Structures are given as C-alpha cells and as structure tokens.
Amino acid sequence: MTIIDELLEKAENAVNGKDKFLMRANYSSHPSNYFSNTFGRAVIFINSIQDKPIPIQICIGSTAGWQYLVIFQDNRICVHEGKQNSGRCYWVLFDFTPAWHSVYSVTSLFEIDPLTIVFVFLELFTTITNIITSQMDQSCERATNLITAIKPYIHYVVLPVGLYAANRFFRFLIPGPHHRSKLDLRDRAVLITGASSGLGRELAICFYRRGAKVILTARSIDKLKELCEELKSLPGVINSNEPVYKYLDITDPNGVVELVSFAINQRIDVLINNAGLSMRGSCKDTPMDVHRQVMEVNYFGHVAITKALLDYIPEDGAIVYISSVQGRIAVPYRSSYSSSKHAAEAFFDCLRTEERFKTQILVVSATYLNTGFGRRALTTEGKPMDMDDLNQANGLTPSYAAECIINALINRNTELILAPLSHRFAIFLRWFCPTLFFYIMYRRGLKVKTSLIRSGKFQFCNSRGYIKINQSKLRRDIEQLRKNITRVTSNRSSVAGDEVNDFLRNNAYLLGGYGAGFLLGYTFA
C-alpha cells in the first residue's frame, strides 16, 4: 500500500466516522520522513480542486495552547501564526505533540472530498514546515549573533562563574547544618536577649508573626511588658503561643543561673544573643574599667548564656549571635567595641567546630542600624554619649535587618554580612591588601579626630594630665571675661584690672589648653 493509498483510506475512515484523525504524527514517526518523497506530487492548491468556499478552521500544531490556525477563506489557505485556541476544538490535520485527543467535531468535513483532504494536508504541511524552518533559522541567527557579541568577554566571566560553581559544589559535598531542611519557626521557642528596644524588639515582632513562642529578656521590665501587649494586639497575626518576658542582666551570674532553671522547665529551640553595648574613644584615653565593662556585655555575657543553655538547645535548633561589621574589621575610636565583637565571633567559630557542628550557629555581621544604639554608647568616662550618630541615623531600618536575619536563619545559613557594598569591600580589602586598608582607616581616624575637636567633645593629653574641651564652658568663661572687661573699663582707665589678672592667673592652664585644642583642630582641618 502506497502513502497516497494509506491517506485515502484514513480520509474515508474519517468521513465514515471510524477514525477521528486523518493523520497521527508522533516523535518516532515524524511526518517529514513520511512525505519526503511526495512533495513533488502535492503541488495542487485547494482552490483549483474545490470550487466553493470551505467555512472551516483547521488546527495545525498542538490543540492546546499556542498553535497555528489554518483558515480557508475565499478558496485559499491562510496560515495564521501564533493564534491561541480559546477552548474551541478544531479538526487536527497534524499534531506536533503525541498527546491523544478524544472529542472533536468533524461534521463540516463530511462535505470535503477525501482526495481534496489529502492535497490539503500535503499543502498545509509544506506551509507549516516552511514556517518552522524560517523560525529556526531566525533563532539560530540570533543565537549566533549573541555568541559573537559576548565572545570577547567570555574569558572574563569564566573564572568567577567557575569559582562560584566550585563553591556551590563543595558546599554540597561538605556535611553541615546547611543540609538540614528549612527551619520552621511555628511553635518554636525563641529566647531573645536585649529585646526591649532596637533590633531585639523588631526580631521579637517578626518571630511572633511567624508563629514562634517568643521569650523576651532585658533589664527594662516595663518595656518588655509593653512589647508583650503589642505582640498580642498585632493585626492579622494568629499565634496561640503566649509571649513570655523575663528580667535578665547578662553580666550578672545570678541571672544566668535563673535562666538555666527556666530552661529546665521551658524548651528553648533558638537562642538570639542580641544584647550589646557600644563605646566611643581612643585606645589611649579609654580607661581599663570601660574596656572591661564593654567586654562584660558584648563577650563574657553572651559566652556565659550560650554555655549555660547549650545542653538545652536541640540539635535541630539554632544559636544566633548579632555581631557587627566591626567584628571583622577594626574602626578607629571603636577599640573596645571592635575588640569585643572580634572576640565573640572567634568564640562562636570555635563552638561551631567543637561541640555543635551539625547545629546551626549563625553569626550576623551587621552594619549601622537606625536604632538609637549610638546614643547609649559609652564615652571614655563610662557615661552614655547621649548624642546621635550620623552613620547610624543613615543606617538600615531595624525591621529590614530583622527580616534579613530571620530569612538567613530559616535557610540554615551560618554567616550573614548585613552591610552595603562599601563595607563588604572593606572586609575584602582587609584580607586582600592590609596595608591599603590600614591607611584608609588611618585617614578616617584623622577625620574623626578633627570632627571631635570641632564639636568640643575631644580629650587630649598635656603635661598636667587630661583636659576636656567643652564649648559650653568655654562660652561661659569668655562671656564672664567680657563682662569683667566692660565693668572695669567703665570705672578705670586701664583694662588690666585685678579681676582680669586674677582670671588669667587662675585659668592659665585652661586657656592654654583651649588654644592648643583650636590650633590642633585648625591644623587637621
């Protein structure tokens, strides 16, 4: 039986209702092989065979989704590319997919002569083949042009892409907490230190929104009570877990003991070491008691709490330490703070390799956050600065930082650098070119020193000890001197009265310090 005879038989079966398809094509028997020898005999158009118009649409291609619609209009074949089947079923002359179709209306085909159907099929197949070939040629040409355009830059991309791929491959091979499933926070007990304000407060809100049972600790009980009431009244939040608050001073050993007693009766799945204390001052001028005070909060306190609760945290739980970018790079006039963060990061790195390799220990190196943390920073006298930090005022919002930290926790990450590109580059530069990094930090230190002198908040050392320049006191002294001079000149012919002489004699060292300070500031400016 020839191909034409086979097609005629299929056409007769279709007319008699025995077969729904004129021709079924599949990937193992492609029509191009079927009709490669018959194109020469198929050069007969339908308008030369059929005299009357054929009001029917025939689907060429898949019957689902995007396809070619072949419409018979004015006795001619019109091929429309990219039409979409809007749910109506058409007679399928040729299907590019091997899926079987069961229900189609074929009533209007009864009027078509079987031989006409054969030539229609051959003509349509030729048209569709040309369309597909043209599209493939255009796609190949676009791909060739794209490859030609990017070819000069490929060698610049190969190295970083290869390094990234190697990193991901070795990460897949190496065991660790990153192989665990994502952390589900619902009904997980999360203990947060320093939860009364700033980032700790935002973390408590974000954890509670995700269904966790939050255990809030801080020194301010009133703020913790307000936060618990706020959590209960959050709109659109369904959390059956009651928030719990507890007084905790992480520098108090008795508070750590009470926390252990609390952990015996209350499961703790996630520990968030968030409490912290900042400090502003030079290495030389900062007393040792201030260094110890900062270390007690930022290092010893978190070490004590983590050690005490380590046995009560399950292996599939997590420990988070909120560090700083200054735990990776040292910044001028932040010696105590940077030292404490460096020490704490080293402790948690050691803990990760000693005791809990399969437990997630996340260290967050955060940049400046707009939380008012700088106002509570200690001066060299051990008192709060009570002054806004411009860098922190322009820093990240605590809500954004909290979301990033929780996402890293859920994804089982072990490190998170929450910082802009410039700070990330500084971390890289510290490792890649330390000499250049330290010079940049030196220049930054000069700017900080100059700004402190201009603001009247800088302490410098002379032969008699430490003299603090204070603009307000300077203004009062100058105003008093002006009044004395005015009073003397109104009564005496000489301006060098006894009061002026006494003032100059009693405040010689102070005035010398003022002059030296302004000269120093003018020099650096």
* pLDDT per residue of the chain (525 residues) written in tens, 0 to 9: 554 455 455 555 554 555 443 333 332 333 333 333 233 233 233 333 334 333 333 444 433 433 444 444 443 444 444 443 333 333 334 333 333 333 333 333 334 455 555 555 665 666 666 666 777 788 888 888 888 888 887 777 788 888 888 888 888 888 888 888 899 999 999 999 999 988 999 999 999 999 999 999 999 999 999 999 999 999 888 888 999 999 999 999 888 888 888 888 888 999 999 999 998 888 888 999 999 999 999 999 999 999 999 999 998 999 999 999 999 999 888 899 999 999 999 999 999 988 778 889 999 999 989 887 777 888 888 888 877 777 777 888 999 999 999 999 999 999 999 999 889 999 999 999 899 999 988 888 887 776 655 555 444 443 333 344 445 555 666 666 667 666 655 554 444 445 445 555 555 555 566 666 655 555 554
392 & 466 share domain: no
- Cβ-Cβ contacts under 8 Å for 438 (sequence gap 6 or more): none
339 & 469 share domain: no
The residues annotated as belonging to the active site are 337
Asked, for residue 89, whether it belongs to a domain, the answer is yes
Domain containing residue 91: 3-147
358 & 412 share domain: yes
With b for 16 or more beta-carbon neighbours within 10 A and e for fewer, the 440-474 pattern comes to eeeeeeeebbbebbbebbbbbeeeeeebebeeeeb
13 & 116 share domain: yes
Q: How far apart are CA 369 and CA 320, in angstroms?
A: 18
467 & 408 share domain: no
CATH number for the domain that contains residue 293: 3.40.50.720
> What number of other Cβ atoms are within 10 A of residue 514's Cβ?
19
| DSSP helix/strand/coil, 353 | helix
Asked, for residue 453, whether it belongs to a domain, the answer is no
Task: Return the ∠ at Cα 305 (arms to 246 and 182), rounded to 5°.
Answer: 90
188 & 265 share domain: yes
367 & 322 share domain: yes
412 & 358 share domain: yes
Asked, for residue 430, whether it belongs to a domain, the answer is no
Asked, for residue 171, whether it belongs to a domain, the answer is no
Asked, for residue 164, whether it belongs to a domain, the answer is no
Asked, for residue 450, whether it belongs to a domain, the answer is no
Asked, for residue 440, whether it belongs to a domain, the answer is no
Domain boundary among 401, 419, 437: 419
As for how many domains the chain has, the answer is 3
141 & 244 share domain: no
Q: Bridge partners of 71?
A: 57, 78
263 & 201 share domain: yes
110 & 249 share domain: no
99 & 212 share domain: no
Asked, for residue 475, whether it belongs to a domain, the answer is yes
Q: How far apart are CA 296 and CA 303, in angstroms?
A: 10
